[in-house]
Amino acid sequence: MLRYIVQRLLGMIPAMFAISLLTFVIIQLPPGDFASTYAAQLAETGVTVDDAAMQALRDRYGLGDGLMVQYAKWVGGILRGDFGISFEWNQPVNQLIWQRMGMTALISVMTLLVMWIISLPIGIYSAVFKYSVTDYIASVLGFLGMATPNFLVAIVLLYISSMWFGVSVGGLLSPDYVKAPLSWGKLVDFLSHAWIPVFVLGTSGTAALIRVMRANLLDELHKPYVETARAKGLSETRLILRYPVRVAINPFISTVGWVLPALISGELIVSTVLNLPTAGPLLLQALKSQDMYLAGALILLSGGLVLIGTLVSDVLLALSDPRIRLS
Amino acid sequence: MTAPVPPSDGADLLDRQTAAGSLHAAGQWALIWHKFRRHKVAYASLILVGLIYLVALFAEALAPSDPGKFDPRYTFAPPQAISLFAPDGAGGTRFVPHVTGFDITLDQQSFRRVFVPDPDQIIPIGLFVRGDPYRMWGLFDTDLHLIGPLDPGQPMFLLGADRLGRDLLSRIIHGTRVSMSIGLVGVGLSLFIGMVLGGVSGYYGGLTDRAIQRVIEFIRSIPTIPLWLGLAAAMPKEWPPLQVYFAILVILSLVGWTEIARVVRGRFLSLRTEDFVIAARLDGVSEYRLIMTHMMPSLYSHIIAAITLAIPNMILAETALSFLGLGLQPPIVSWGVLLQDTQNLRAITQAPWLFAPGVVVVVAVLALNFLGDGLRDAADPYEK
């Protein structure tokens, strides 16, 4: 098992390298180098930057050098924990991102768990009682969930809550709790806010997962081993949960590979709509003002988050299916 | 499994056999069509998708007014219902298709316009009326609209008006052209990349296949929105709208091709070992001919299904990008651009009809998904 994990960890290195290259390309795309953008911005506010400071900045990020050198300096900095500076905030990037990335990770993982908890039983039920009323309702809701952009769900929820309940549902904490230390009250307050983004983000993914689980299980239900178990007189519940579900759950676990990127993508839009203190609004703002080091760090880290999530799902998969870790 | 479908030169043999009654045969496409027809939801979706594309094609003529025509007097004017009869003043009714005008007052506290329908103000409407002039397909000038008020100066907002008093229905109709064509053209581009790379990957296998598969896996593992946003944000702000439109197409296709490549590769892999392909290969058929005349015909139906399923993803992606303000920009009207207005909570509480473009997105995406599902099920008519 340990060997398998080490193998997978080593396998992440080229992927991380590819993501960093891609991010670097995105950072480089806007015209002009960032030092001149920075100077222009400062000049607008009436501050003049002396040439020595400007030169120091250029040297630090290798702006005068070739692209390879710039890339090396950028990646080298990141490996030491230096993501560059954000011009808009006039702060080192790593002071801005960690808390927000943490929130993004938290919301994404919570959503993933909720999606699994909901879609697993419904998927099993839909497959076992195929073409039942519940199956049809689940299918219809599933198709609707997949067809509705999740930012639209968020806005409709905002609209309903402000029209009918007269409250705004944005944010993740009530103003009183933002600065308060950790406490039960704070946790309860957090959960009372967090269910909204979790719900909004979870709809389309849950719909897709129900269909995956249903299809997987349908493939298994008519196999001879199920018939054998039934012929031996095993109770129906025990039989289904014990054997075909165990087989069908493997592809279900591996869905993390595409659910997680979709969640992080969706989180970006939904948290912009709901005004959550996560990475999404920060990235959007950074991209709009071409604050490229900040944007780059966030894109890189969301890619990294997906890699870690996929790793975790692979380990889970290896735990549940010995064929994978032994091959 | 897939039986060999005789290419064009074998068709007349088949015809002769059919005519002689020795063989009952329906072509592959006829079989696919039969199988597809049985899927009722998919069949209904086909009709709906066809209608939506017709709307996209004839947008200018179908829209009651110019999508950019604004009138601050009608800021957030509510939707008007069409009634067919009106009182004739002598106690009876007469046939006058019309909408009802408004009494507009300004709320002194909130400075909002308050619209009260006034049944006495009858605005007669009709079919094929003269209205705002436009240039149809860039070919000829006309001012004929399918539906509109008889007097172009009077308001008719069947779906309400937006914050500048523009007719939402007309804007949605024009947005249909942009959003649906982004889906179609974007998929065309994805199809090209996906066919070439997926085909190479599935046909040759081996190291090439593995390399291409790694690339696909990698692209699919990146969260798409940050990637798209990063690329879209790099577009110079001074680009003309058409250039932005094509840039967005390219950006969306960068990810979109992977799914099509996956389908094409899978089909190539399974076709490669089919008897009829091996037979053709052993007969010394050239590689080009082998792919084009022997393998392609059994691929088309799968590809059509794959692209139908890819279009809704493109539409959703464009909607999300434009909604965030990094996709298409006004004055281009797309469903995503229209949905930007819903970001303002005060606007939607005052004018909930601003959600209408969202409903249209959901309907179009649902129809395309159902259609794609039906096509995928029908794609292999020989399969039981």
User: In this complex, which of B326, B352, B358 lies closest to A152 when CB atoms are compared?
Assistant: B358
Give the global pTM. 0.79
What is the spatial distance between Cα A211 and Cα A203, in angstroms, rounded to a whole number? 13
Q: Which of B314, B324, B350 to mutate to test the interface with A (most CBs of A within 10 A)?
A: B324
pLDDT 10s digits, B83-113:
777 777 777 777 777 777 777 777 777 777 7
pLDDT 10s digits, A118-177:
888 888 888 888 778 888 888 788 888 878 888 888 888 888 877 776 666 666 676 666
Mention every residue, 6+ apart, whose C-beta is less than 8 A from residue B144. B61, B128, B129, B130, B131
Mention every residue, 6+ apart, whose C-beta is less than 8 A from residue A147. B312, B361, B362, B365, B366, B369
Which residues of chain A does B352 touch, with a Cβ-Cβ cutoff of 8 Å?
A: 159
| Residue pair A163/B349 in contact by the 8 Å Cβ criterion | yes
The owner of tokens 């054997």 is: A243
**Out of A87-96, A242-251, B212-221, least confident range:** A87-96
pLDDT 10s digits, B360-376:
999 998 888 888 878 87
- Give the tokens for residue A72: 């090396």
Mention every residue, 6+ apart, whose C-beta is less than 8 A from residue B217. none
Q: Which residues pair with B161 in a beta bridge?
A: B167
Torsion angle of C-alpha atoms B115, B117, B118, B121, degrees rounded to 10:
100
Which residues of chain A does B234 touch, with a Cβ-Cβ cutoff of 8 Å?
A: 26, 29-30
- Stretch B19-30: mean pLDDT: 65
| Count of residues making up chain B | 384
Architecture of A98-326 per CATH? Answer: Orthogonal Bundle (1.10)
What is the structure's pLDDT at B1? 44
What is the structure's pLDDT at B38? 80
CB contact under 8 A, A268 and B229: yes
User: In this complex, which of B231, B324, B349 lies closest to A162 when CB atoms are compared?
Assistant: B349
Burial of A154 (0-12, 13-18, 19+ CB in 10 A): buried
Which segments of chain B does DSSP mark as H helices, in order?
8-19, 28-38, 40-57, 59-62, 168-204, 206-221, 224-233, 241-272, 275-282, 287-289, 297-323, 335-339, 345-350, 356-378
| Residue pair B316/B365 in contact by the 8 Å Cβ criterion | yes
Architecture of B172-378 per CATH? Answer: Orthogonal Bundle (1.10)
**A214 or B73: which leads in pLDDT:** A214
| Residue pair B337/B330 in contact by the 8 Å Cβ criterion | yes
- Return the closest-CA partner of residue A147 out of B354, B226, B179, B358: B358
Distance of CA A103 to the CA centre of its chain: 10
- Return the closest-CA partner of residue A201 out of A152, A257, A135: A152
User: In this complex, which of A143, A144, A284 lies closest to B324 when CB atoms are compared?
Assistant: A284
The ranges assigned to domains in chain A are 31-82, 98-326
User: Residue A20's closest chain B neighbor by CA?
Assistant: B222
Average model confidence (pLDDT) across chain A: 80
pLDDT 10s digits, A276-327:
888 888 888 888 777 778 888 888 888 888 888 888 888 887 887 777 666 6
What is the spatial distance between Cα B301 and Cα A292, in angstroms, rounded to a whole number? 44
- Which letter, b or e, does each residue of A48-60 get, where b requires 16 or more Cβ atoms within 10 Å of its Cβ? eeeeeebeebbee
pLDDT 10s digits, B241-276:
778 888 888 888 888 888 888 888 888 888 888 888
- Degrees, nearest 5: CA angle B239-B242-B248: 80
Q: Which run of H or E residues covers position A167?
A: none
Which residues of chain A does B358 touch, with a Cβ-Cβ cutoff of 8 Å?
A: 148-149, 152, 155-156
pLDDT 10s digits, A206-249:
888 888 888 888 888 888 888 888 888 888 888 888 888 888 88
Q: Chain B within 8 Å of A312 (Cβ-Cβ)?
A: no
A 73-132 residues with CB < 8 A to B: none
Q: Chain A within 8 Å of B366 (Cβ-Cβ)?
A: yes
- Give the tokens for residue A128: 């076992």
| Residue pair B59/B176 in contact by the 8 Å Cβ criterion | yes
How distant, in Å, are the alpha carbons of A264, B153, B304, B350 from that of A163? 29, 34, 44, 10
**CA R_g for chain A:** 24
CB contact under 8 A, B320 and A269: yes
Mention every residue, 6+ apart, whose C-beta is less than 8 A from residue B141. B133, B134, B135
User: In this complex, which of B325, B345, B365 lies closest to A158 when CB atoms are compared?
Assistant: B345
**pLDDT bucket at A55, cuts 50 / 70 / 90:** confident
DSSP string, A55-122: HHHHHHTTTTS-HHHHHHHHHHHHHTT---EETTTTEEHHHHHHHHHHHHHHHHHHHHHHHHHHHHHH
Q: Say if residue A178's pLDDT is above 70.
A: no
What is the spatial distance between Cα A74 and Cα A68, in angstroms, rounded to a whole number? 10
Longest dimension (CA), chain B: 89
Average model confidence (pLDDT) across chain B: 79
- Which letter, b or e, does each residue of A261-298 get, where b requires 16 or more Cβ atoms within 10 Å of its Cβ? bbbbbbbbbbbbbbebbbbbbbbbebbebbbbbbbbbb
- Degrees, nearest 5: CA angle B223-B228-B233: 135
What is the structure's pLDDT at A326? 65
CB contact under 8 A, A258 and B345: no
| Residue pair A70/A62 in contact by the 8 Å Cβ criterion | yes
Strands B140-149 and B113-136: antiparallel
- Stretch B312-323: mean pLDDT: 86
What is the spatial distance between Cα B44 and Cα A112, in angstroms, rounded to a whole number? 34
Which residues of chain A does B221 touch, with a Cβ-Cβ cutoff of 8 Å?
A: 15, 257, 261, 303, 306-307, 310
Q: Say if residue B155's pLDDT is above 50.
A: yes
Q: Within 13 A of B181's CA, how many CA atoms are on the CB side?
A: 18
Long-range contacts of B288-295 (CB under 8 A, 24+ apart): B291/B199, B291/B203, B293/B7, B294/B4, B294/B7, B295/B268, B295/B271
Residue spans in chain B of domains classed CATH 1.10.3720.10: 172-378
Q: Counting one residue from A and one from B, how many pairs have CB atoms under 8 Å apart?
A: 125
Q: Chain B within 8 Å of A10 (Cβ-Cβ)?
A: no
CB contact under 8 A, B226 and A298: yes
Q: Chain A within 8 Å of B369 (Cβ-Cβ)?
A: yes
- Stretch A181-203: mean pLDDT: 80
**A33 or A82: which leads in pLDDT:** A82
CB contact under 8 A, A143 and B370: yes
Distance of CA B246 to the CA centre of its chain: 16
